[in-house]
Amino acid sequence: MDSLVDIEITPQMSGKKNTIISARNVDVFYGEKQALNSITLDIPENKVTSLIGPSGCGKSTFLRSINRMNDLVDICRVEGEIKIAGQDIYAPEVDVVALRSQVGMVFQKPNPFPKSIYENVAYGPKIHGLTSGKNEMEEVVEWSLHKAGLWEEVKDRLQETGTGLSGGQQQRLCIARAIAVKPKVILMDEPCSALDPIATAIIEELIDELRKNFTIIIVTHSMQQAARVSQRTAFFHMGNLVESGATKTIFTSPNDERTQNYITGRIG
Amino acid sequence: MEHTHIVTRFDKDLNEIETLLVEMADKVSEQIKQSAKALQNGDIALAEMVSNGDSAINKLEERIDKKAICLIALRQPMAEDLRSAITTLKVSTSLERMGDYAKTLSYRTRELDDLPTMKPVLRTISEMSDKICMMLNLVMEGYVNRDLKKAAKAREADQEINDKTDALFRELLTYMMENPRNIEACTHLLFISKNLERSGDQITNISEQVHYLITGELLEE
């Protein structure tokens, strides 16, 4: 794995075995308003972790803290510690561009660049200087499209524009773009909310395949989706992490009444 | 459940299924009571009535299962709701089996009509069926009120039924050895006691299911 600064880091350097991301007492503020209260959570490597909770509970804020997307918001302030593979990502020496090459992100609405399918995927490796020639770049593009389950559908039209694909294909193109730089972690912010059930099923199948190589954190409003795709689930409520654990436990017998009320659709 | 669902129809669906299950348990309890009474009094007409009454229980099971399957498909229940749906499916199956045992008891009552009567055995069988009805009421109270203690009490009481079955077996053996003409009647009574013992086991299953419903933990056999 590439380091965020100059030191070589490995997952074993983080606290718990197989933990790739460890958040400790993370507070996030938007101006005066506190959006997250002392979040402490370990994310295991090569697993899918879903973040669930009502709108405004802080799950997306937490997700965006993991690749420092919140830096783009002027009034946002993050306190506490988030380590990825043992490296504190908020340390002053961390290069945010290098960080984001290791922590890819897929958004709610597919947002391919208005460029060809090939260029969409090649963009990341190109700006990060990860390939050393045309042939290598072609290999990376093909590998990424294969991994994203899109290769067979687009191999004969790589020069066509990415925005001409269907919604589901565009989302898979965005996933191919995210994995082209070989990140360790992929963050997904409601990746299927704009897709039909078939395109959703294809993405869910893909997520399961991708977790062999990547650690995935997904924010979703669909309880069924969280139950289907993730091995771990964390429930957020009003800026607090209420409960986290094995998905099958959370969805069959959660500990906290707030979790129970939320996932069963009750007025709490 | 303290809090109501945002989708009120969901609460209504769950309540409907639970109400039907309680109705089914009441019917099963009545069937057991009446079948034991028919045996005790040699009342063939009553035994006939019990036999005919079983189809109502089967229909209730079908209704409950259809509603629970529909709830799972349409509402995709989670956590306690999911456990509730699964519990109704499993409990309805246990109750249906208990209904079948009562029906078999009635059939054997008719068969016993022309055979020698064994008063002390009938008394023990009557005690066992009373106990079964008490245990069933207890476990269903545990179900309705989400009361772990009541469910556990019903489960613990099963030991008494097992002990009575063993005692009855020994007693019937002596009657059979005493006089071979008793064998046919004793065999019927042996099956009856076995069916009551199986009813006790079904109550244990229901009790374990209620434990799962309340705690989310599966009890080991």
Percentage, residues of chain B above pLDDT 90: 90
Helix B119-144 × helix B148-156 angle, to 10°: 160
Mind listing the pLDDT tens digit for each residue in B65-108? 999 999 999 999 999 999 999 999 999 999 999 999 999 999 99
- Within 10 angstroms of residue B111's Cβ, the number of other Cβ atoms is 15
pLDDT of residue A2: 47
Cβ contact A253–B217 (<8 Å): yes
Domain encompassing residue B48: 8-215
Cβ-defined contact of A266 to B6 (cutoff 8 Å): yes
Half-sphere exposure of A65 (CA within 13 A, CB side): 30
- Structure confidence at residue B118 as a pLDDT band (50, 70, 90): confident
| Contact indicator for A160, A120 with CB cutoff of 8 Å | no
pLDDT of B2 reads 66
Q: Please give the Cα distance from A255 to A111 (Å, whole number).
A: 38
Write down how long chain A is: 268
A253 touches chain B (CB under 8 A): yes
For chains A and B, what is the number of CB pairs under 8 angstroms? 45
Reduce the DSSP state of residue A42 to 3 states and report it. strand
* Residue B209 belongs to some domain of the structure: yes
Could you say which of A227, A260, A267 has the minimum Cβ distance to residue B80?
A: A260
Asked if the structure places residue B2 within a domain, the reply is no
Within-domain flag for B220: no
Q: How many domains does chain B have?
A: 1
Sequence-distant (6+) residues with CB within 8 A of B104 are: B191, B192, B195
CB pair distance less than 8 Å for B5 and A252: no
> Which member of B5, B83, B217 has the closest CB to residue A266?
B5
User: Which residue in the block uniquely carries the two structure tokens 């063993």?
Assistant: B166
CA–CA separation, A139 vs A149, rounded Å? 15
A118 within 8 A of A158, measured Cβ to Cβ: yes
Question: Are residues A116 and A161 in contact, defined by beta-carbon separation less than 8 angstroms?
Answer: yes
Residues of chain B in contact with residue A260, where contact means CB-CB under 8 angstroms, are 79-80
Give residue A6's pLDDT.
Answer: 42
CA distance A53 to chain B (A): 15
Is B59 a domain residue? yes
| Any domain includes B3 | no
Among A residues 223-252, those touching chain B with beta carbons less than 8 Å apart: 223-224, 227, 251-252
- CA A253-A255-A256 angle, to 5 degrees, is 125
Cβ-contact B159, B123 below 8 angstroms: no
Contact A53, A254 (CB under 8 A): no
The answer to whether residue B221 sits within a structural domain is no
Name the strands in the sheet holding A232-237, side by side, starting at the edge strand that comes first in the sequence: A103-106, A185-189, A215-219, A48-52, A232-237, A240-246
d(CA B218, CA B196): 25
User: Are A211 and A48 a contacting pair, CB within 8 Å?
Assistant: yes
The amino acid at A4: L
Using the Cβ of A266 and the Cβ atoms of chain B, whether some distance falls under 8 Å is answered with: yes
pLDDT value at residue A7: 38
pLDDT of residue A13: 42
Residues from chain A that touch B78, judged by Cβ atoms under 8 A, are 223, 227, 251-252, 263-264
- Taking Cα atoms as reference points, which of B88, B58, B91 lies closest to residue B72? B88
Do residues B93 and B25 lie in contact, with contact meaning Cβ atoms separated by under 8 Å? no
**Could you tell me if A70 and A78 are in contact, meaning their C-beta atoms sit under 8 angstroms apart?**
yes
Band of pLDDT at residue B221, cut at 50, 70 and 90: low
Q: Indicate the residue of B76, B79, B215 with minimum beta-carbon distance to A260.
A: B79
Residue A4 is predicted with a pLDDT of: 54
Residues ≥6 apart with Cβ < 8 Å to A250: A233, A235, A243, A244, A259, A263
State the first-to-last Cα distance of chain A, in angstroms, to the nearest integer: 44
Cα angle B73, B76, B78; round to 5: 145
B119-168 pLDDT per residue, tens? 899 999 999 999 999 999 999 999 999 999 999 999 999 999 999 999 99
ipTM topping 0.85:
no
Residue with tokens 């008719």: B110
Q: What is the mean pLDDT of each run of 10 residues along chain A (268 residues)?
A: 45 62 97 96 97 95 95 93 95 92 93 96 92 92 94 96 95 95 95 91 93 96 94 97 96 94 86
Cβ of A254 within 8 Å of Cβ of B5? The answer is no
- The neighbouring-strand residues paired with A87 are A84
Measured between beta carbons, the chain B residues lying within 8 angstroms of A253 are: 79-80, 83, 215-217
A22: left (phi over 0), alpha (psi -120 to 50) or beta: beta
Q: Decide if B96 is inside a domain.
A: yes
Whether residue B64 is contained in a domain is answered as yes
pLDDT, tens digit (0-9, with 9 covering 90-100), for B6-56: 888 899 999 999 999 999 999 999 999 999 999 999 999 999 999 999 999
Q: Which domains does chain A have, with CATH numbers?
A: 11-263 (3.40.50.300)
- pLDDT given at position A268: 59
The domain that contains B24 carries what CATH number?
Answer: 1.20.58.220
Q: DSSP letter for B5, please.
A: B
Structure tokens belonging to residue B53: 């009454």
Cα–Cα distance measured from residue B204 to residue B94, given in angstroms and rounded to the nearest whole number: 10
